[in-house]
Structure 1
Amino acid sequence: GADQVFVYDKPELARFAIEPYTNVFEDHILKNKPSSILVGATTVGRQLAPRVAARMHTGLTADCTILKMDENTDLNQIRPAFGGNIMAHIKTPNHRPQMATVRYKIMNAPERKEEADGEVVVCEVAPERLESHVEVLDIVKKPKEESIENADVLVVAGRGVKSEQDLAMLEELADMLHGQLACTRPLVEAGLMPAKKQIGLSGRTVRPKLIITCGVSGAVQFTAGMDHSDQIVAINTDPQAPIFQTANYCVVGDLYDVIPPLMEKIRAQKGA
């Protein structure tokens, strides 16, 4: 559905290098003068966007969760701030381009079109702008691993989960549902789970078909990373827990009163 796709197709750009990528980005901005630029908050995007913003003497809002465009082309950039206690509303009225990074799965993907109707614009850039002062000596491939961002089902352990025995039970539930176990920040800080399994502003943004939170209070930092999930089931002993404001299904109760009977029902259904 894009109207135009601008392509810089050069051998020097085959792999990410900060200097030539920044130069190419700057070249595109100077030639086309866009009003607003959105960059994915990926490992590459988080390096590239600040450098381009500094080069263009403009502002950059990181990790936006809501974006709205005014009629005068001012971009309303909204993101949690001060540990998620407030939603910061940011504008860049006096400089262009306006720049923001956006996290993975924060927004709905557009419907796929079967017929291509956009225009591909092949761009040229001066050869000296593709030079880099960094020489890559070697590239070591990481072994493939399952990421919680791509899981259809997630079981999340929160602060209410106190022991490895609790985690083992939740992991078994996740396996039964062909999903993955994830967690909130306190479990990472306690050394019970790795950081790559953490959901939230300081972790990963997820959008599964089903997410079951266990002992999760529901702080803004956490819910900002999962509130676009299709179905949210929350289990917590505190009936006033903020997570219940986000959840589709709310269960007030202890994990050991709720999870084992649930697992028994799943086993019975699978047996049938």
Structure 2
Amino acid sequence: MAKVLLLAEHDGKTLNTATARALRCAAELGDVALALFGGNTEAVADEAASLNGVSRVLRIDRPENGEPVAAVIAPQLAELAAGYDVLLAPSSTYGKDVLPRAAALLGVPQISDIMEIVDSRTFRRPIYAGNVITTVRVPESCKVVGTVRIASFAAVDRSHAPAPVESIALQASLPSHTTWIGLEASGGDRPDLQSATRVVAGGRGLGSKESFDMIFQLADKLGAAVGASRAAVDAGYVPNDMQVGQTGKIIAPDLYIAVGISGAIQHMTGIKDAGVIVAINRDGEAPIFEAADIGLVGDLFQILPELDRALEG
């Protein structure tokens, strides 16, 4: 059985759901050790140890790991991965930042966005905005390194028998050319976009940054995360960390409400694994209605207030 190392994503208090999704993929390949990098990962280690499929949790605690700086984490991850056959990470912003660096330090190629396992060295991943699925095989001489397309895997459950937790000291030299400056969070108390079960997204049809506030209001009533189309981001309605689609975030919520989004193929790539898709658009010929489970054709400026009133009632 292969030895698999999975890079965990967390905020120092709780694990990101992306880790539990990536773990389902990792567990299909072999015995999984979960790597926690942080300043003090004691709190999150207990949660990590309770996930089904984890054989052990490795804590790599040091002050330099207190913030998620890829240039700092990557050399340590590469050193740790030397004793494993497979190195994986969620295909999140964090995973996509760290893993290519670690792969380069290990001198091996990386597979991006693994969506299906064929065998221990053969995987399927999407290309061309998800319109083509390609099969990739890793040579026997190479370690398997890849990011997991978290929208393609369901999160694992909790285990009744927690895995052992170990503290690991690594000797990797850390770079001095990259330092942590600060964090500016734009999401407030809303759920993380990539792991949320409900998402409300707005497009260019809203017409202005001020009108986009209607999306935030609806999302807050539903306890949902907020997303946006590329057109809305390019128009300056919201920052680009809210963008959903090929060049944004790939998500798989149970409920996705698209407001004023036409449904360009690049956007649809980001939501193809969503559960129920609700589309609100005044153009009945908009492409998004082809994928929608529920479609409302009409003026969003009339429909959204009606939804608000219904939710309040």
Place the TM-score, normalised by the shorter chain, in its bin.
0.7 to 0.9
Cα deviation, residue 200, structure 1: 2.1
1:58 and 2:108 correspond: yes
Query: What amino acid maps onto 2:240 in structure 1?
Result: A
Q: Which AA in structure 1 matches 2:242?
A: K
Instruction: Pick closer, same or farther for the CA change 1:141–1:187 going to 2, 3 Å.
Output: closer
Q: 1:56 deviation in Å?
A: 3.1
Cα distance in structure 2, aligned partners of 1:197 and 1:51: 25
The equivalent position to 2:236 in structure 1, one of 188, 191, 197, is: 191
Which among 109, 113, 116 is matched to residue 67 of structure 1?
A: 116
Spell out, residue by residue over 1:69-114, the C-alpha distance to the aligned partner (whole angstroms, 9 max, x if none): 22xx222131233xx1632414134252222213555521012112
Q: Match of 2:158?
A: 112
Q: What's the counterpart of residue 204 of structure 1?
A: 249
Instruction: State the secondary structure of the residue aligned to 2:204.
Output: coil
SS at match of 2:304: helix
Shift of 1:137: 6.7
Letter in 2 for 1:57: G
User: Alignment identity in percent?
Assistant: 23
Match of residue 277, structure 2, among 208, 212, 232: 232
Cα distance in structure 2, aligned partners of 1:18 and 1:169 = 36
CA spacing shift, 1:142–1:152, aligned 2, 3 Å: same
TM-score (norm 2): 0.66
The residue type equivalent to 2:58 in the other structure is V
How far apart in 2 are the matches of 1:171 and 1:154?
10
SS in 2 for 1:266: helix
Contact 1:77/1:100 (CA < 8 Å) preserved in 2? no
Aligned residue for 1:53, secondary structure, equals helix
Residues in 2 aligned to 1:163 and 1:14: alpha-carbon distance in whole angstroms: 40
Q: CA deviation at 1:24?
A: 3.9
Aligned to 2:123: 76
- In the alignment, the residues of structure 2 paired with residue 175 and residue 3 of structure 1 have an alpha-carbon distance, to the nearest angstrom, of 34
Shift of 1:66: 1.4
Question: Structure 1 stretch 217-226 or stretch 162-171: which is displaced more?
Answer: 162-171
For the residues of structure 2 that align with 1:180 and 1:22, how far apart are their CA atoms? 30
Q: Which amino acid aligns with 1:101?
A: T
Higher alpha-carbon deviation: 182-191 or 140-149? 140-149
Superposed CA RMSD in Å reads 3.5
Q: Which secondary structure does the structure 2 equivalent of 1:59 belong to?
A: coil
Find 1:132's aligned residue among 171, 174, 178. Answer: 174
User: Cα 1:221–1:146, aligned 2, differ >3 Å: closer, same or farther?
Assistant: farther
Taking structure 1 as the reference length, what is the TM-score of the superposition?
Answer: 0.74
- Residue from 276, 289, 293 that aligns with 1:244: 289
2:194 is the alignment partner of 1:145:
no
Question: How far does the alpha carbon of each residue in 1:27-79 deviate from its partner, in whole angstroms, 9 at most, with x for none?
Answer: 444333x1x432123444333311222233322133x1612222xx2221312
- The aligned residue for residue 45 of structure 1 is 95
Helix, strand or coil at the partner of 1:258: helix
Following the alignment from structure 2 to structure 1, what is the Cα–Cα distance between the partners of residues 166 and 214?
A: 54
Match of 2:53 in 1: 2
